[in-house]
Structure 1
């Protein structure tokens, strides 16, 4: 029912913006929506699993920016592009692992661990670049990542491939079932033999790597590394996941819901920009969306629990 409701919302957004906003339904704008959605979704796949496990990751935005800067510096130093991309992904994964270890083995709340990472990475990105873009020589491979494949933005193709991969992992593997079990009751999951600490570390490692991949694609799209890129992306990611029906208390969620949540967030942002709405007011709209989504999520959870109690 959650997915059906989101499809109705998407239809209403298309009708509303399409009938009142010039250029909204144009082919170029639809491609732009796919590109913008991919930036959110690629990070959101991993964050969905994290929230299903009852955790949170607020370091996504600065992680994207920092890995973007790292990639740009590597390319500026004439490191081969494939090696530079692998290094950027490894840096993201390693930084995510640090947050995972703090949560899994030292008992630090994931919000605090990733908030510390958020601040440190944001500061490092601006310090290392003096808040200036980091340029690098033209690169055909990165140009292809910023281009279209068979008429579809390359980032959107990668997003959909990863959607299929994460959907399979969450639904069809023992690891995915373990994530749901941990979110439902971590203590019970551990008593059942599930390696809770190890899975928590792996979740944050994956989140860091996916944020780094989003950073690679943004670097290809912008043609430079920028410490200010992806500002506020973590809020869009979390909003998309929650709008998609993933419970903040853990144990419930789906990749399809997150995909639809991503497009709800992206369509609203795109429509507001095309209508010339003040950027500061757009932040107000984003905040309202997050609060309403969390409230609706909470109410749905209470209704379901009440129904179970009646049975």
Structure 2
């Protein structure tokens, strides 16, 4: 009887420990929210909370695409440059079509949006093809493309912001629907689509299999290269969406947009529990990671924490998240 009780107590302690490990990020987030509610009266206002949602939405769409890429065992560092190129393409296309009299500006911007998504898809296709065809590390391929695309955006825009955009375009980045920012609604839609794909489809299972063990995935009949290429295309399309949102918010396109956004996306993915080793991760975790970073940055801003100190805090968070993930990975292997 006593031994049975001891076993039950031990089992309960293990269950509690597992639950704490599983929801540690949510618990820390809750602590920050409670602390900020007392430290800054304006933190829990609807205006500030909607502002947090609007801010994380701009970069958050990319994070969900990046989750797929990292689970597949790859990475994409060129996403920020695609954000910049998207705005430039939309602005230049709108200006050219409207000034030449081919169509009104209000319609021309739609053509620009479609064209920018097509270009983003081709960039993802090229990245995926060159890294799978020639067995090149995605880190190197996308780092090179980061510079190529930024350079291209600067050349075609001649280094100046492109501002030929219709007034309705601003609604995409700054408008609201039922008092909820449109970027936040789009963020939730992207989350829902990627969540369903990764959890309830054959392709989602293939992504996990490819990231976990590419050779085993190949032997089981999965087209490894195709899966990786599709993931690279998806993250680029997500980047184009973010490019649309940021260019519509500021009503211009510029080659300077998107710089450093890849770090925000990767940070959210890693802090959310996705392993850089591939094969392990959750879309839900990325969403929590996004909210966590958004709340943390907002809290530090309200508390007037120095901007450079904020970079240090974010860097340490990533380091700790990677360290924890590495320890868990080694425990599973050992």
TM-score range, shorter chain: over 0.9
Go from structure 1 to structure 2 and tell me whether the alpha carbon gap of 1:16 and 1:227 turns closer, same or farther (over 3 Å shift).
farther
**Superposed counterparts of 1:91-240, under 5 Å:** 91-240=119-268
Contact 1:245 1:297 in 2 (8 A): yes
Quick check: 80-89 or 187-196, which moved more? 80-89
Contact 1:3 1:257 in 2 (8 A): no
Correspondence for 2:91: 72
TM-score (norm 1): 0.93
How many residue pairs end up in the alignment? 306
Contact 1:66 1:125 in 2 (8 A): yes
Taking the aligned partners of 2:172 and 2:76, their CA distance within structure 1 comes to: 30
Which secondary structure does the structure 1 equivalent of 2:287 belong to? Answer: helix
Structure 1's unaligned 5+ residue stretches are 307-311
Which secondary structure does the structure 1 equivalent of 2:23 belong to? Answer: helix
Contact 2:56 2:290 in 1 (8 A): yes
User: Cα offset for 1:277?
Assistant: 2.2
User: Cα offset for 1:176?
Assistant: 0.6
TM-score (norm 2): 0.87
Taking the aligned partners of 1:9 and 1:123, their CA distance within structure 2 comes to: 41
User: Cα offset for 1:65?
Assistant: 1.4
Supply the RMSD in Å over aligned alpha carbons.
1.6
* 1:24 and 2:43 are equivalent in the alignment: yes
Q: Quick one: which of 300, 303, 308 aligns to 2:328?
A: 300
Cα offsets for 1:96-119 (capped at 9, x unmatched): 111101111111100001101111
Taking the aligned partners of 2:293 and 2:129, their CA distance within structure 1 comes to: 31
Which secondary structure does the structure 1 equivalent of 2:83 belong to? Answer: helix
Which secondary structure does the structure 2 equivalent of 1:137 belong to? Answer: coil
User: Cα offset for 1:75?
Assistant: 2.0
User: Cα offset for 1:48?
Assistant: 0.4
Contact 2:73 2:279 in 1 (8 A): yes
Contact 1:22 1:274 in 2 (8 A): no
Taking the aligned partners of 2:112 and 2:156, their CA distance within structure 1 comes to: 18
**Greater CA radius of gyration, 1 or 2?**
2
* 1:291 and 2:319 are equivalent in the alignment: yes
Contact 2:93 2:111 in 1 (8 A): no
Contact 1:68 1:219 in 2 (8 A): yes
**Superposed counterparts of 1:75-90, under 5 Å:** 75-77=94-96, 78=98, 80-90=108-118
Cα offsets for 1:52-87 (capped at 9, x unmatched): 011111111111112122112122223622221111
Quick check: 98-107 or 9-18, which moved more? 9-18
Quick check: 36-45 or 106-115, which moved more? 36-45
Contact 2:109 2:166 in 1 (8 A): no
Correspondence for 1:309: none
Structure 2's unaligned 5+ residue stretches are 1-18, 99-106
User: Cα offset for 1:144?
Assistant: 4.3
Correspondence for 2:304: 276
Contact 1:57 1:111 in 2 (8 A): yes
User: Cα offset for 1:30?
Assistant: 0.8
Correspondence for 2:8: none
Which secondary structure does the structure 2 equivalent of 1:135 belong to? Answer: coil
Q: Quick one: which of 48, 63, 66 aligns to 1:44?
A: 63
